[in-house]
Amino acid sequence: MKMRNEYLVTVIVLLYNKAAYVTEALNSIVRQECDFKYKILIVDDCSTDQSPDICRKFQTEYPDIIRIVSNEKNLGVVLNFEKAYNLCDTPYIAICDPDDFYISKHKLQRQVDYLDAHPECSVVFHRALNYYENTGIKTLSNPNQKRILTLADMATSNFITNSTCMFRKLYPEGLPEWYKDVSTNDLPMHLLNALHGDIHYQPQIMTVYRKEYGESNWAGEDPVKRLFLTLNSRYPLLNDPSWPESIHKAMKLQCLQILILIQRQINNPNDELYHKASQMSQSLNLNDIEITEVTKKINKRNSVEPGILKIIASKSFRLVSRLVPISVFRI
């Protein structure tokens, strides 16, 4: 393998209290086999455990690869990502959340090769092994996933697991002002990137994504708060006039769907959050036909019962998956 004497990728690691996992994450990055140079940018958001010490030990061993930036105050995940993004000085950016890890030593190379060969593509991502650590169950992400996707696909669903993606740095002057107002960093970033090119899916399983079985990404939060967090990863984007009209409409319909679910979950018109959701729904300025269609879609989805064979097959797969070690998936 002929080595290229240039840094092409920065792997962002947003750190906050992951001492139990960050060693595995960093080991999986420094073991990448590439024909180019890459960097690891760790931005510590005022961790209170031993994770910064663990990272400093890695930096001592890999001083040419690892850079650690320590925040003076806790920024939260969105502002911490924005800070990391602005610090990146390579053409490509990858992500490895500190509780995830790569299981292919060729992950970065495969993704750089694709982006190099396809200038029309702005984001590349791959399949993940979902690992429910509290049960040992393992599942695979992105069943029946299309290979080439667009902004229109991204506007209706976030199908990218954070630690599986690599994207071009397309905003050297900084992210839009509204980015500071979103609740999560991933979907808005993917949407911004998809404004400039296609999204490509690679079917190889190259990352382990840790999850808690039976919980959402915001484990421990109540259902209404989870829905508002989901909403706030989309609603601030509506103030950006640069979205194509069809995409703007699709995001509005997504927001309405979430707001209807919030109102149904609260089920009390006198509740303050119910009233807030109602006001936000009205601010979308959607017509009666559009509102009716979204309502029908929600009702139809809630009325669909999975077949008994599908339930049995799913449960059987989950039980068997506990016996399969993660090492089987390493490539």
DSSP codes of every residue in 211-280? E-TT--SSTT--HHHHHHHHHTTTGGGGG-TTS-HHHHHHHHHHHHHHHHHHHHHH--TTSHHHHHHHHH
Check: CB of residue 100 under 8 Å from CB of residue 177: no
Q: Is residue 27 part of a domain?
A: yes
Contact 38, 11 (CB under 8 A): yes
Q: Are residues 58 and 207 in the same domain?
A: yes
Tens-digit pLDDT profile for residues 298-324: 888 776 656 555 555 555 555 556 656
* Whether residue 268 sits in one domain with residue 245: yes
- Is residue 188 located within the same domain as residue 252? no
Q: Verify that 156 and 229 share a domain, yes or no.
A: no
Say if residue 243 is in the same domain as residue 101: no
Q: Would residue 255 count as lying in a domain?
A: yes
Collect all residues with Cβ–Cβ distance below 8 Å to 305 and sequence separation of at least 6: none
Range of the domain at 230: 223-303
177/289 same-domain check:
no
Asked if the structure places residue 319 within a domain, the reply is: no
Residues 61 and 163 in one domain: yes
Angle at 163 between CA 159 and CA 165, to 5 degrees: 65
pTM of the entire structure?
0.90
Q: Is the pLDDT at 26 greater than 50, yes or no?
A: yes
CA dist 196 and 169 (Å) reads: 11
**Domain contains 328:** no
Strand partners, 272: none
- Provide the CA 172 distance to its chain's centre, in angstroms: 21
> Does 178 share its domain with 97?
yes
Q: Which two tokens stand for residue 248?
A: 């703007």
**Residue 133 forms part of a structural domain:** yes
Residue 44, domain CATH: 3.90.550.10
What is the per-residue pLDDT for 287?
92
Residue 198 pLDDT more than 80? yes
Task: Encode pLDDT of 201-244 as tens digits.
Answer: 999 999 999 986 444 444 456 899 999 999 999 999 999 999 99
d(CA 320, CA 136): 10
